[in-house]
Structure 1
Amino acid sequence: MPQFFTHKSMTQETLLEKINTIFIPIVFFIGIIMIGFYNFLLFHSIAELFSISIASVIFIISINTYKFNHSSYNLSLLGIAFGFIGIIDLLHTLAYKGMGVFPEFTADLPTQLWIVGRFIESISLLLFCTLMSRRGKLLQFFYIYFAITVFLLLSIFHWGIFPSCYIDGTGLTSFKIASEYIICGILAVTIFLLYRNKKRFIQKAFRYLISAILFMILSEICFMFYLNVYGIENMAGHILKIISFYCIYKSIAEENLKKPYRELYYRGRDYYKLIKLLPEAVLIHVKGRIVFINDAGLKLFGVSNSNQILNTSIFKYINPEDQVDMHHWLMRPNDGENRYPSTLVNFIASDQKNKEVAVCTGPYIYNNECAAIMVLHDLSQQKQVESLEKKVKQGEELLKERTEYERLRTIFFANLSHEFKTPLNVILGAVQLLEHTEKDYETVKTVNKYIKSIKQNCNRILRLTNNLIDITKADSGYLKLNLCNYNIISILEDIVVTVADHVRSNGVEIVFDTDVEEKLMACDPDKIERIMLNLLSNALKFSDNQGVITVNVYDRAESISISVQDNGIGIPEDKLGTIFDRFVQVDQSLSRNTEGSGIGLSLIKAFVELHQGTISVNSEMGKGTQFLIELPCRLVEETYHREEKESFIHQNRIEKISVEFADIYSIT
């Protein structure tokens, strides 16, 4: 079995570190040197801003890791110092010749600021070595550096008492050159003190710190004798300064950032007791051999003693079907992440039962060996709970649907009883009046009125009965179409013309319009009539006097669109989604302004869908409603003659209209 942990990850980490430490800085310095020969002012600005950025990062790292740095020496002092050095270097950059930020000052200003920054830098390094065995308060350091920085800046900008460092036409002053020697001497003493305290550092941090000071000294030497602020010595000095700052950053990063994490990583063995108490199963294996397992892991594998599982192969407990995939998953080297992605595995417990487990693993050091730590979460109980929750949810949904169905059915039967009771009461009252009416010529008109009322209510009962029969057929699958090829435009126009008198008698205008005069297609004329009469009846019910009902037909080549639109009261937005549901009505009160059982629209939707079409509704309260029907244009083989078809279309249309409009009592 191949090893699943190799040193490849360590090689990759070393390669990345070399790229970060050597290759990227070299590329940067080559680029900045080329810029320096092309435009020195731009070179100077980039170099200084880079140094200022490093100083800011050093300051931030030191401040934020102060409480967690348990080293015997105090790197936070350097962090505070470099924060103020960054401010001074920023002013130095802005004051440089050609920047134009401080036009009232001469070229002496940036040189004075440079000397101030370097004095603070060298003295801070010396103090760092001197106070290495002490641990002062961070706030005290901050106040001291703040006061010193403010005093030095005032001596330059306000009081003008700081000695001159550069004179135009002459060059560097004696004070400037002497200061550079003093700074180099301070840095040399610092190197000596650092070597005396070498054991207090980790090796890499010590090397970076020594390198930083040596580059500082070389930088100061370059700045001792230059005559021109744009000279090659000036350029070399700034490059050496950047290298120096970078080395200090690397030193602080090694001590304040990497060291704590490294110590935390290698002290993982101290947390064994905590891991053993975790409720999740945790095990550690070396090359597939289990070397540690906590109590929850023993429970997961169904064993009572760790000796039963330690030093055995982890693949012994993995389902054979998953072993190939798990072997590939476990054997791959670390890709630089803290852990591998989680996966699902079927483990075999001691009772030979499969347990689906979510596994998350990552690299670990066990007895100085490359190992892996695995956290296993048993999904068996979770799946049982999820299955139970799913069943409960399904039961709740079923109960909710059943309750809603019972509610709608109750409303339906309440409406149905009302629909039967109302016309029967009218018929009974009319019959009783006829029985007590004297037979003379003066009462003939009254008798005709009662007869008309009786007929209308009988038609209402007939309409309801027909709808109940058809909806029952639709539920049982016995509702069929008698398809033949008809001119659909002629059928629709005849229906509108026939109902026009009924509509106008209620004070409503009806308009028919089409963009095609003839369209032959397969349809069932009886069902088309039922659809249109129901929609026109609904439009008339909910239209006020002086209203308009518009029927439009549009030829879509492959289909026909039929629009029935009114400008009546409209349908509430919350009812649009359920208007085609059975038993649903916009107004469910028994004393509503219009009559209906709540199955008419459901039934015409079934008729439309039998024609392989669709029906939709658009409505806005107070502005009206539009029903839009889309029917596909297709032809079928037929055995009827055209005369027979035309006779069938016109047969009993008046009676059908009387039935469909029977629940509109305003008809005179």
Structure 2
Amino acid sequence: MHILSIFRKKIIEYLHLVVMCVSLYYVSKFNFVYLDASAEIVTVLFGFILILIILSTIKACDSKYFHLIAFILSIFGIIALFVDDYGENNLLYILFQYYECILLNLSVKYINKKANLSNLFSENKILVSLFLFITFVISYVSKNYDTKYSLDILGSVSAVLIILGYIIFFYRIIKTKANILNGSKLNLFSLIFFKSLSYLCFSLFNDTTINILGHLFENIVYYYIFNIIIKEIVINPYNNLFNRFMNKSQELEIANKKIDKISHKAANIEKLNDKFINLIPDGIIIIRDKKIESVNDRLLNMFDINDELEVEKADFDKILDSSQLDIFMSRINSMDSRILEKPQEYEIKWDGMKKWVEVKSLIANDERGEYIISAIRNIEDRKKVEEAEKLLELKNKEESLKNDFFANISHELRTPINVIYSALQVQNGYLKKDNCNENVLKYNLIIKQNCLRLMRLINNIIDITRIESSFFIPNYKIENIVYLVEEITMSIAVYVKSKNIKLIFDTEVEEAYVNCDSNLIERIMLNVLSNAVKYGKEGGNIFVNIYKDGENNILISVKDDGMGIPSDMQANIFERFSKVDNSISRKIEGSGIGLSLVKQLVEIQQGTIVCESELNVGSEFKITFPTVEYSLEDVTDEEQLNCYSNNAIETAEIEFSDIY
């Protein structure tokens, strides 16, 4: 279909040419002068049309070569109006044909480069010299040899030279490698061919029929000129422009797709940024000209704000008091825009709600100017913790003061009691020697026992105070726990006997070494044994047994068959001041801090203590300590063990002061 359309175009083009030639031929049959005038007018008209085409398309073409060709041919076409083919005008016609031929050859040099009038003649000295020489020759001939014969000779020579010039021009066109000529070489050949025929018809023959052919050939020349010019100056440039436009349109379409893709990506990034900003655990607020421009969801949730529009465009002083606003703005004005501001605490308000927040701010810039980005972290919980820490610190100070008071008062009480107790012992020595009244000795014994009770209470208070204030430091040594427990148990035999209770000691192992403080073990055992004696029944039994509890533990059991402990009280017996009988009329004396101290002393030495009891059946206290590997150098020697035995008897007097 495309080939057929091109073929039709060619038929139409040649049909126009045929119609024009036939028309000229028929006109010549009626009046040759009219034909000559019509042909010349058509030629001039073609020249003017070419100039108009040149002027209207010169900016649209990259190469100006065909404009140069069209200009040369159009100028000489217009000049033809003033030149005839006889007489002096015939010489001008020949001269202009020379000029046209020379200029066409001159134009070949500017196929691939721009013609510059300033160096046009300096670069083409030979052709310019030839141009001037021909002008001189024809001028000389016209003045000195104005005869029919000389004109014929000049016409014949000129015809040969001009046709030779056209052949040289076409040869140079063929030899050039310029791409712009590839599609027009055949048309240029046809143009040169018919141009040469036209010139021959006008120059060598003076026959009417030949002149008619000359005019036909001249019009065919202009057909090919128009064919070349329309194709190379109008169609091809505008095709190139159209192709460029289409390419640019495709590029723009691709660019638009890329822009759409980038815009879509930017929109996704913006959405992702919004999601990211809303995922940040801190509130984000943007402030411009002291007005709130934007906030994230976290800030809205922080102050229970349902609509973001409530906050946006609001004055910043709506959420900060004037004093805090001045502090905030002074910090912002003094900070470096490249550095993130250090956190600062402010109290922010909104609709009656106040919250303590920590604010970090940064100054940023955009096309609208400076603005402030602030990250706001809710520190209400931190403030509550700080408040609680202050209260705790105050409470600890109060507790420390109380402990110090108890320690001081205990110390102040123990000193006079020790003096009284020592004086009683001295006095008893003198009274026994003098065989004093038994009632005096009896009351002295009562005073002694109560002194011991006070000493026991004061010692317990001091130890508890030291433990709670972290000033209690055990004196650890590797001890044979079996020997220690046995010696301590035997030291209370006199007290057990006074209660008519049978004391039984038994052990599975002869030696078990524990890293412990022997004084603390003594306090623990005497306290537990004193409870067994106090709450045991007359004629009952107390069993002290030592077992191996696994590979690395030793278990000490103190069991009695006394009154037992009610089940609802068993969970509280290790609490301070807890007693089975708290009434004023209770039969058994005690402060209620003994077992609490025992538990603390056991746990200090990495041990455990539990109680198993049944009302009216009895109670069993199980104390477990971890055993250790030892060497002979680490074990306490016999001399120290004998000291423990003597100390145990003295300590027993204090621990059993409630039993009388």
**TM tier relative to shorter chain:** 0.3 to 0.5
Alignment TM-score, normalising by the size of structure 2: 0.38
Alignment TM-score, normalising by the size of structure 1: 0.38
Q: Which structure has the higher relative contact order (CA within 8 Å, separation 6+)?
A: 1
